[in-house]
C-alpha cells in the first residue's frame, strides 16, 4: 500500500509541471532545474528490480500536456520483458490519444545505436542498427526532438541516421494514434465474462499491426477487480514490436485503458494480477508463449487463459469453413434452393395475379 501511494505521488507531482508557454517549446522556456528536478522526482516511481538503475522520461504533446514514463523490470522473466522509460511515455501518450509528440525529455540517453567493431569492419552500416526506444519513436514520431538531461535538444534523426521506418515498407507515415482496421471476427466463447469480452474486443480494435495483420489483446484483472487492457503494437523493424500485455489500449466507451503501463499509472502493482486473458486472431504471429511466461513470472497465482478467434470472410464465415469443399457444396446447394424457391414463389404469385385479374373488354364507358 505504501509503495502504491508513493508511485501515485511521484506521477501526480510530475504532471504538475508548468503549462506550455505561449511561444517557443516548453523545454526551451522552462528552467532547466524545473525539468531536471521533475525527472528526479519521477525516477522514484521506477521499478528497476534487477539493474537498480532508475530512468525517467516525459513526452510533451502539441498542447503542452505531459506524459511521464519510467523503466520497469520484472523478476523471474527474461530481460526482453523490460519496459523502458521512453517506451512507457510513448504508450501513455498513445493511450491518451495525443495527436503529436513534440518533445521528449529523458534522464539518460535513449537506447539506440550499437557498434560492434567486427560488423563495422565488414558492414559499415551495421552500427546504425537501432534498438527499442529510438526505433519506437521513429515509428510514431520521427520528427520529435530529444533532450537528455544536461544536453541541448536535438532531433531524433540525428540520433538515428539513415533510419528505417513505415515508409520503407510502403505504409506511409504514422502517428501516435494509428491503428489497423479490425476485420470481422467470430464471437468470443459464451463463458467469457461480458466486461472482459467487451474490453478485449475494444483492445483488438486498437491494435497497430500493419505488417502481420495479427491482432492481439491482453486483459489483466487485479485483486481490486479493476481491468487493464492492452493492444499489440508492431514496428517496421519487427523486433522492437510491443506485446499486448505492455500496451495500453486506446480509450473507448466500452473499455477501460490498460495493460501494465496503465496499471502502474493507476498505482497498482503487477503482483496483484489474479486473472490474465490473451485474445488473438489466428495468424503468423502469436504472443501466447511470452504472455504465459511473463504473467506467471510476475503473478504466479494468476489464472491464465488464451483464446484464438477466427477472422471471418466476406460471407461471414471462418476461412477454414469457407475453404472447405463440402461446405462450399452445401452453400451452393442452399443458394440453388433459395433461387428455386424464389422463382417458384414468383411464378406462383404471377399466375395468381393473372387468374384474379378481370378480363378486359375494351375501354369502359
Per residue in 297-345, pLDDT (tens digit) is 888 889 999 999 999 875 555 555 555 555 555 555 655 555 455 445 5
Quote the pTM value: 0.71
User: Over 90: is that where the pLDDT of 355 sits?
Assistant: no
Rounded CA gap, 314 and 4, in Å? 48
**Catalytic residue numbers?**
86
- Helices 2-14 and 32-42: crossing angle in degrees, nearest 10, is 160
| CATH 3.40.140.10 domain residues, the chain | 2-169, 194-309
In this predicted structure, what is the pLDDT of residue 130? 38
**Helix spans in 110-181 (H):** 117-122, 132-140, 156-159
Grid cell locating 243: 506485446
Grid cell locating 259: 495493460
Rounded CA gap, 282 and 101, in Å? 33
Let me know if domain 2-169 sits in CATH 3.40.140.10: yes
Q: How confident is the model at residue 296 (pLDDT cuts 50, 70, 90)?
A: confident
| Average pLDDT of the residues in 131-147 | 87
Cα 194 off chain centre by: 21
Q: How confident is the model at residue 117 (pLDDT cuts 50, 70, 90)?
A: very low
Between these two residues, 48 and 262, which has the higher pLDDT value?
48
In this predicted structure, what is the pLDDT of residue 338? 53
Percent of the chain with pLDDT over 70: 67
In this predicted structure, what is the pLDDT of residue 124? 34
| Average pLDDT of the residues in 46-72 | 89
Q: Do 276 and 218 contact (CB within 8 A), yes or no?
A: yes
| Average pLDDT of the residues in 153-182 | 90
Rounded CA gap, 114 and 125, in Å? 11
In this predicted structure, what is the pLDDT of residue 168? 92
| Average pLDDT of the residues in 69-81 | 84
Give the homologous superfamily in CATH for domain 194-309.
Answer: Cytidine Deaminase, domain 2 (3.40.140.10)
Amino acid at each position: 500500500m505504501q509503495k502504491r501511494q508513493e508511485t501515485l505521488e511521484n506521477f501526480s507531482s510530475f504532471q504538475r509541471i508548468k503549462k506550455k508557454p505561449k511561444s517557443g517549446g516548453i523545454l526551451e522556456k522552462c528552467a532547466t532545474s524545473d525539468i531536471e528536478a521533475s525527472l528526479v522526482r519521477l525516477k522514484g516511481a521506477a521499478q528497476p528490480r534487477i539493474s537498480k538503475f532508475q530512468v525517467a522520461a516525459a513526452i510533451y504533446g502539441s498542447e503542452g500536456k505531459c506524459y511521464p514514463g519510467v523503466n520497469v523490470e520484472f523478476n523471474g522473466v527474461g530481460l526482453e520483458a523490460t519496459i523502458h522509460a521512453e517506451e512507457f511515455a510513448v504508450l501513455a501518450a498513445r493511450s491518451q490519444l495525443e495527436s503529436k509528440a513534440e518533445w521528449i525529455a529523458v534522464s539518460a540517453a535513449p537506447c539506440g545505436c550499437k557498434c560492434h567493431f567486427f560488423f563495422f569492419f565488414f558492414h559499415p552500416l551495421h552500427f546504425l542498427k537501432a534498438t527499442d526506444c529510438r526505433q519506437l519513436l521513429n515509428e510514431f514520431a520521427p520528427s520529435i526532438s530529444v533532450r537528455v538531461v544536461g544536453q541541448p535538444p536535438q532531433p531524433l534523426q540525428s540520433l538515428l541516421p539513415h533510419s528505417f521506418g513505415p515508409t520503407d515498407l510502403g505504409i506511409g507515415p504514422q502517428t501516435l494514434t494509428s491503428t489497423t482496421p479490425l476485420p470481422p471476427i467470430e464471437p468470443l466463447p459464451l463463458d467469457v465474462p461480458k466486461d472482459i469480452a467487451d474490453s478485449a474486443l475494444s483492445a483488438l480494435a486498437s491494435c497497430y499491426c500493419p505488417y502481420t495483420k495479427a491482432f492481439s489483446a491482453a486483459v489483466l484483472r487485479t485483486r481490486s477487480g479493476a481491468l487493464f487492457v492492452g493492444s499489440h503494437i508492431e514496428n517496421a523493424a519487427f523486433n522492437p514490436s510491443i506485446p499486448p500485455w505492455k500496451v495500453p489500449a486506446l480509450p473507448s466507451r466500452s473499455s477501460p485503458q490498460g495493460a501494465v503501463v496503465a496499471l502502474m499509472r493507476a498505482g497498482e502493482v503487477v503482483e496483484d494480477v489474479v486473472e490474465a486473458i490473451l485474445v488473438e486472431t489466428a495468424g503468423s504471429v502469436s504472443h501466447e508463449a511470452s504472455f504465459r511466461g511473463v504473467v506467471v513470472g510476475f503473478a504466479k497465482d494468476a489464472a491464465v487463459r488464451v483464446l484464438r478467434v477466427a477472422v471471418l470472410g466476406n460471407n461471414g464465415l471462418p476461412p477454414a469453413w469457407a475453404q472447405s469443399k463440402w461446405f462450399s457444396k452445401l452453400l451452393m446447394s442452399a443458394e440453388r434452393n433459395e433461387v428455386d424457391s424464389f422463382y417458384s414463389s414468383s411464378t406462383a404469385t404471377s399466375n395468381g395475379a393473372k387468374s384474379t385479374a378481370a378480363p378486359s373488354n375494351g375501354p369502359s364507358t
